[in-house]
Structure 1
Amino acid sequence: MNLLLKTNSPFTIHNSQLNITGSKSETNRLLLLQALFPNITLENTSNSDDSEVMQKALNNSQFTIDNSQLVDIHHAGTAMRFLTAFFAVNEGREVVLTGSQRMTERPIKVLVEALQQLGAQISYENEEGYPPIRIKGQKIIANKVSIPANVSSQYISALLLVAPKLQNGIELTLVGEITSVPYIKMTLALLNDLDIQTSFEGNVIKVYSKHEVASKVMTVESDWSSASYFFSLAALSEPETAITLSSYKQNSLQGDSALVELYGKMGVESKFENNRLTLTRKSNFAQENLTFDLNNTPDIAQTIVVTCLGLGIGCHLTGLHTLKIKETDRLEALRIELTKLGANISVTNDSLTLVATKEILHNVKIATYNDHRMAMAFAPLALKVPINIENAEVVSKSYPDFWTDLRNIGFQISEI
């Protein structure tokens, strides 16, 4: 499905109110914890493809010829990492964990080796270091393991989430500079909410064994990554635009809540009231080139650079090394698609530099590379120029209602 996006000019959003689905990051962590501790009840879970895939995989009953279970998580990277750890400690169960063609190109070796240090039995079905992988669930007694600190935080969270069910818990040493600390802290906070004891001192994380938890209802906060596109819309709209989103906490567990500070520098004011977040476009703010370190929030890099293009300002974004192993190589994808729009952009293995430009080319076709964030990050540019989004259905990976919500606030969207 290819979509043409247009808006009236000038475009002002008058107090639109939207309900954003629960955080995919929180939901997938809690789904795994619920599988370990079935007396947990979850509310406001994400309706994303990734979370649905995660839930189905945890209840999988499809068998291969050799009587092991085949679990296909398609494009869901979080599910691949979390389920690798889950099935490794699920004693007596044998699973072949696989995914899409792109998933078979995304590395898993660092996590596999960490689990093997603990005594897990995992082997590769095809190319070493990449899915599909065969996992024979074991009782894990060892508890000390080390892992490079600059890898995806999902590897680290995968180990921490299963730790309470290990006989001796886990003592995880992170070697080097740590990436995406907020996501690690989110995982630990969710464990603490279940009265599971943890500590994070220096580069050592400990999670203590706890085989049972008290029954509890856990409500998932709405997704901050999904909110990022409305921060972008607010920044690119006319002054006095107001968008209200629910349900959000001022002291969020999600690292992408840094959007409040980052977009404050792009003319967006944020106000919290009764678990609702209202974004207002300031009448006046200094438009100048920006430099951001996104080491802790790499998922919002695409949104930020597109916003800067729309504002006619430059930016230099660093801390982006994990973007090369996402649904696509996001740095290269951004370089190609922004160049189509007339941008002057350069990328390295971990950074991106956009030179300020005042002209954006019209009716450009934006390829999405099977990456939901490419589709949603470029959509706000329709406030400036008509824009075509190819394979727009990819948004279902994290935000199935995205196009409906844009229509509801005044976007003219037609299928082409």
Structure 2
Amino acid sequence: MQITLHKSEIAQKSSVQITGSKSESNRLLLLKALYPVFTLKNVSNSDDSNLMTSALSSNSEIVDIHHAGTAMRFLTAFFAIQEGRTVTLTGSKRMKERPIKILVEALKALGADIEYELNEGFPPIKITGKKLTRHKVSLAANVSSQYISALLLIASKLENGLELTLEGEITSVPYIKMTLSLLDEIGIETSFEDNVITVKPNTKNPMPKTLVVESDWSSASYYFSIVAISKVGTEICLSSYKKNSLQGDSVLVDIYKYFGVETIFKDHTITLKKISSEVQPLELDLKNAPDIAQTIAVTCFTLGIPCDLFGLHTLKIKETDRLVALKTEIEKLGGDVEITDKSLHLKASKNIKEFVSIATYNDHRMAMAFAPIALKSPIVIEDAMVVSKSYPTFWDDLKSIGFKISQ
């Protein structure tokens, strides 16, 4: 479905309830599958989390996770320890182009039985679950933190636990720390010293516990962008958030100060308030929060300020090559962008072309990151329902705060 966002002005004060974090939800869904005594609340209603839920409860020999990259990585590890069960894990055309070899090789080093069905190093993969008794493995740490988290999530169920040595510069450290914090929360003993992570085997059943998923900071990023682009005095209240978040994208609070956005925490809500229109050229290293790069690039473009964003090497293996996609779509709007394999450089632009049709590349974040431009210029979003991957009610929520949207 294609939609048009007409030039809009949002309400001066508004509020939005955002669904649970996809990152936290998918980790906790897997832990609940391993330890059924837990109860989960505020689980994400995203496609990815729904696919994760279905896959974990499926008895099928073939599990198709479509575009859900996190689910592909986590389920590869999960099915590797399901003794006596054989599963072929597959996905969309793009998923079959996304590498899985580093994780598969690590699991094989622990004793797992995994075969490639088509192309070496890529899904689909055939996994025959078995008991894994080896406990030491090394992993390249600069590719995707999801490989690391996948191993950590199953580690307590390994007979001898896990000693994971990370080689090279570690990517997306906050996501690794999120996984370890959730393990700690359910009583699994862990340590992270220098480049070695240790997870002890779980020898006793954990106590029943209700775990509440914090709302998604990546989804909040689009409202940070909206407030940054709006006039001074604009406020949007978002729930449900906490100041000591486990999510790396909570760095938005500090980053959007550059755009004159103040964040006020109160009673599990955050209020975003535009307090200044002064903006300066921006230079950021986003290696610990790459998922908000698209939002920040579009914010800068819309405000007409240059930016240099670094630490973006993982964006090339997401739902699409996000660096190429950003360059292509911003330049259609009249921007000037240079990219390398790990950085994006945007020059200042004065005018935004109207009614440009933005391709979304099966990537939810492309659709949502470009939407705030409608505060300055009308824009068309192709395949708009791709947002269901992480935030199904996104367009309805934008309408509720004043965006004018038509099909």
User: Shorter-chain TM-score: what band?
Assistant: over 0.9
1:133 equivalent in structure 2: 125
Shift of 1:358: 1.1
The within-5 A match list for 1:163-312 is: 163-211=155-203, 212-282=205-275, 284-312=276-304
The within-5 A match list for 1:3-402 is: 3-8=3-8, 11-62=9-60, 69-211=61-203, 212-282=205-275, 284-402=276-394
Which range moved further: 23-32 or 204-213? 204-213
Within 1, Cα distance between the matches of 2:345 and 2:25? 33
- Residue identity opposite 2:232 in structure 1: P
Within 1, Cα distance between the matches of 2:11 and 2:324? 33
Within 1, Cα distance between the matches of 2:277 and 2:388? 35
SS at match of 1:307: helix
After superposition, give the CA deviation of every residue in 1:22-62 in whole Å (9 maximum; x if it has no partner): 00000000000000000010000000000000000001122
SS at match of 1:165: coil
With normalisation by structure 2, the TM-score equals: 0.99
CA RMSD of superposed structures (Å): 0.7
Within 2, Cα distance between the matches of 1:53 and 1:341? 34
- Residue identity opposite 1:165 in structure 2: K
Contact kept in structure 1, 2:155 and 2:201, CA below 8 Å: yes
- Residue identity opposite 1:245 in structure 2: L
- Residue identity opposite 1:288 in structure 2: Q
Contact kept in structure 2, 1:12 and 1:238, CA below 8 Å: no
1:414 to 2:406 alignment: yes
SS at match of 1:50: helix
Contact kept in structure 1, 2:10 and 2:402, CA below 8 Å: no
- Residue identity opposite 2:119 in structure 1: E
Shift of 1:195: 1.0
- Residue identity opposite 1:56 in structure 2: S
- Residue identity opposite 2:263 in structure 1: S
Within 1, Cα distance between the matches of 2:10 and 2:58? 47
Shift of 1:7: 3.3
Contact kept in structure 2, 1:198 and 1:206, CA below 8 Å: yes
Shift of 1:285: 4.4
Question: Relative to 1, partners in 2 of residues 1:12 and 1:52: Cα closer, same or farther, differing over 3 Å?
Answer: closer
Within 1, Cα distance between the matches of 2:68 and 2:326? 21
5+ long unaligned stretches in structure 1: 63-68
How many residue pairs match? The answer is: 406
Contact kept in structure 2, 1:91 and 1:137, CA below 8 Å: yes
- Residue identity opposite 1:413 in structure 2: I
SS at match of 2:198: strand
- Residue identity opposite 2:26 in structure 1: N
Contact kept in structure 1, 2:282 and 2:307, CA below 8 Å: yes
- Residue identity opposite 1:219 in structure 2: V
Contact kept in structure 1, 2:97 and 2:123, CA below 8 Å: yes
Within 2, Cα distance between the matches of 1:127 and 1:225? 32
1:66 equivalent in structure 2: none
Shift of 1:14: 2.2
Shift of 1:12: 4.5
Shift of 1:398: 0.1
Within 1, Cα distance between the matches of 2:277 and 2:302? 15
Within 2, Cα distance between the matches of 1:225 and 1:394? 15
SS at match of 1:265: helix
5+ long unaligned stretches in structure 2: none
Shift of 1:128: 0.3
Within 2, Cα distance between the matches of 1:359 and 1:14? 25
After superposition, give the CA deviation of every residue in 1:324-373 in whole Å (9 maximum; x if it has no partner): 00000000000100000110100000000000111111110000000000
The percent identity for this pair of structures is: 63
- Residue identity opposite 1:204 in structure 2: V
